[in-house]
Amino acid sequence: MERGRVTMDRNADAPWSKFDPEVYVDNNYRTPLEVDLLIVRLLRDYFSSCFTGAVPHAARGVDVGAGANLYPALSMLPWCEKILLLEYAQPNVEYLEKQISSGGLDTAWDAFWDVLREAPAYRGTDPGSRVGEVVRVERANLFDLDGQRRWDIGTMFFVADSMSECPEEFRRGVRCFMNALNEGAPFAVAFMKESVGYRVGGHRYPAYRVNEDRARESLEPFSSELEIHDLHHVVRPGHEGILLALGRRNAEIAVP
C-alpha cells in the first residue's frame, strides 16, 4: 500500500461526487490520443460489420458508466433509435446532460467523429443534432442492472475495472453489463490493463488489475464471439496499456 494512501477497496468508497469531468476531458480527449483514435476505428469497423444490411436507426443502445466520454455513444449512433447513457457520478451526469442539449456537443468530439465518418454508415449524419434526438442520460448504478436484458448494442469503457479494487466487484460489474444485453447484441468493453488506480484533479480513484486472461475469463461465458485487442499504449502512470474486447452476446443468462 502507498504510504498515506486511503484504502478504497470497494466502489462505494470512492469520491464519485467529486469527480471533475472537465478536467477528465481536458486530460484525455481535448487533444485526441493515438490510442483513442485507434479504438474508435476498431469500434467503427466492428459495428459496421455487425449491422451490415440492418435497418438503420432500429436498435436500442446503452453506454454503461459513460462518464465524460462521448465516443462510445457516437460509435453507436447510426444503428440506434435510442441510446441511453447510464452514469452514477452526479458531476458526470450533469456534463452528459449538457452535451446532449441543443448545441451542447463539445468540439472535443469532432476529431472522433471525423474518424467514424470515414465509414459509409456514419456519413450524412450530423452528430450534434442526432445526439440530441436519440440520446438520453440516466443516473444509475451499474450493479442495479442485473437481469435487465433490454438493449440491442452496448458499450462499457473503463468502468468495471476502474471503480473498485475488488475482484468480486469487477466480475459482478461485467456480469451486470452483459446481462443487460439481448441475445446477439454487439458489444464493446474497454479496460485499463494492469491499472493500479488513477487520479482526476485532486482525487484518487480505485482500479482492479485486469490482464487479457482476466478480461477473457470474465467475458467468454456471455459471448458467442469475442476478440480482444491488446493495445500497447500507456496514457498515464500506473497502467500497462488498454484492452478492447469486441463481441456478441450469447443466449446464456448468469444469475447474480
Output the CATH code of domain 11-249: 3.40.50.150
Q: Which residue did the predictor score with more confidence, 19 or 234? A: 234
Identify the three-state secondary structure at position 196.
Answer: coil
Q: Is the pLDDT of residue 174 over 60?
A: yes
Q: CA-CA distance, 114 to 109, in Å (whole number)?
A: 9
Mean pLDDT value across the chain: 87
Specify the residue for cell string 447510464.
86
Q: Is the pLDDT of residue 17 over 70?
A: no
Q: CA-CA distance, 12 to 34, in Å (whole number)?
A: 32
Confidence at 8, pLDDT banded by 50, 70, 90: very low
Specify the pairing of strand 223-231 against strand 241-249: antiparallel
Per-residue pLDDT of 62-110, as tens digits, reads 999 999 999 999 999 999 999 999 999 999 999 999 999 988 899 999 9
- Per-domain residue ranges for the chain? 11-249
Sheet with 80-87: strands ordered across: 135-139, 80-87, 59-64, 153-157, 186-193, 241-249, 223-231
Q: CA-CA distance, 164 to 162, in Å (whole number)?
A: 6
**Range of weakest confidence among 34-48, 68-82, 181-195, 216-230:** 181-195
Q: Is the pLDDT of residue 255 over 70?
A: no
Highest mean pLDDT among 14-28, 65-79, 205-219: 65-79
Q: Which residue did the predictor score with more confidence, 251 or 54? A: 251
Identify the three-state secondary structure at position 62.
Answer: strand
Q: CA-CA distance, 28 to 63, in Å (whole number)?
A: 18
Sequence letter at residue 140: A
Q: Which residue did the predictor score with more confidence, 156 or 8? A: 156
Do residues 100 and 135 touch, judged by C-beta distance below 8 A? Answer: yes
Per-residue pLDDT of 120-144, as tens digits, reads 999 988 999 999 999 999 999 988 8
User: Helices 90-100 and 21-28, interaxial angle, to 10°?
Assistant: 70
**Range of weakest confidence among 33-42, 141-150, 169-178:** 141-150
Do residues 221 and 145 touch, judged by C-beta distance below 8 A? Answer: no
For residues 109-118, b (16+ Cβ closer than 10 Å) or e, as one string?
bebbbebbbe
The residues near 6 (Cβ < 8 Å, ≥ 6 apart) are: 204
The pTM for the full model equals 0.89
pLDDT at 160: 83
Bridge partners of residue 239, in order along the sequence: none
Q: Which residue did the predictor score with more confidence, 13 or 214? A: 214
Q: CA-CA distance, 59 to 104, in Å (whole number)?
A: 24
Per-residue pLDDT of 36-55, as tens digits, reads 999 999 999 999 999 987 77
Confidence at 205, pLDDT banded by 50, 70, 90: low
